[in-house]
Chain A
Amino acid sequence: MPGIDEPDYDSGVVKKFMYVNRKAPFGTIYALEVLEMVLISAAFEQDVHLAFVDDGVYQIKKGQDTKGIGMKSFLPTYRALEGYDIEKLYVEKESLEERGLTADDLVVPVEVIDRAAMAELIDSMDVVLSG
């Protein structure tokens, strides 16, 4: 994780948090770790955003079977985010297109925005964590 100032959770100030997912789900621990961090951070009632860019879009791609690699699939857990009031999910249009995917291939409703809009959105955040 990049070095950031410790967020002050007790101040009652709501900050804009963004978790940027860049990696495919199962080759490394990043996707699961970010997802768990997001679920835990929901308790702090911050303004949470998730972005999926590059291979990160594969994290929420439908129809992945992990049996062959002997891992539990955490794909269904993304659908639990709504119940945690985390509903601001953004996917980069170019990343989807480069991989032959559309929003219909994803397990959760997202907002698809282009690279320039994504850059602008990330720039507007108070805290950005990338995995």
Chain B
Amino acid sequence: MPAYELNGKTYEHDEEGYLLDVNQWNEELAAILAKGENLPLTSEHWEVIGFLREYYNEYQIAPAVRVLTKAIAKKFGPDKGNNKYLYELFPYGPGKQACKIAGLPKPTGCI
């Protein structure tokens, strides 16, 4: 199984780069994953990443992008819960790319 390496520790991931064990995730690893995607993380990115971690803890799945957008709108308001804002933060998709950096599996209902 392919793996990321950080500080002598290995983090196994699937063929698309999603962490196998969501509990292994940490912020340092997220920064490295983001770097691999050429995506400098701002506080706005961290807000979405934190939200995804919370969502996963509560529901045990990675949300489909439509569901994520709606849930973000509910929590942070419509200025952030919309496609334009979220795709500007995560150009490869707030579902797929943000979930990968947040250490979640590929979103359920993502096709």
Contact = CB atoms under 8 A, between A and B. Distances in A.
Contacts of B109: 39-40, 42-43, 84
Interface residue tally on A, bucketed by range? 10 to 19
B108 A76 contact: no
B61 interface: yes
Nearest 10 CB-CB pairs, A to B? A80-B59, A39-B109, A39-B108, A76-B60, A83-B67, A40-B109, A77-B60, A77-B61, A76-B59, A43-B109
Interface of B: 58-61, 63-64, 66-67, 70-71, 108-109, 111
19 contacts: A36-B108, A39-B61, A39-B64, A39-B109, A40-B108, A40-B109, A40-B111, A42-B64, A42-B109, A43-B64, A43-B66, A73-B60, A74-B60, A76-B59, A77-B60, A80-B58, A80-B63, A84-B64, A84-B109
A39 B66 CA distance: 12
Contacts of B64: 39, 42-43, 84
A83 B70 contact: yes
B60 A72 contact: yes
A99 interface: no
A84 B61 CA distance: 12
A83 B73 CA distance: 12
A109 to B, nearest CB: 16
Interface string A79-98: 11001100000000000000
Contacts of B67: 42, 80, 83-84
A67 to B, nearest CB: 14
B58 A43 contact: no
Given A36-B108, A40-B111, A43-B109, A83 B63 contact: yes
Nearest to B55: A80
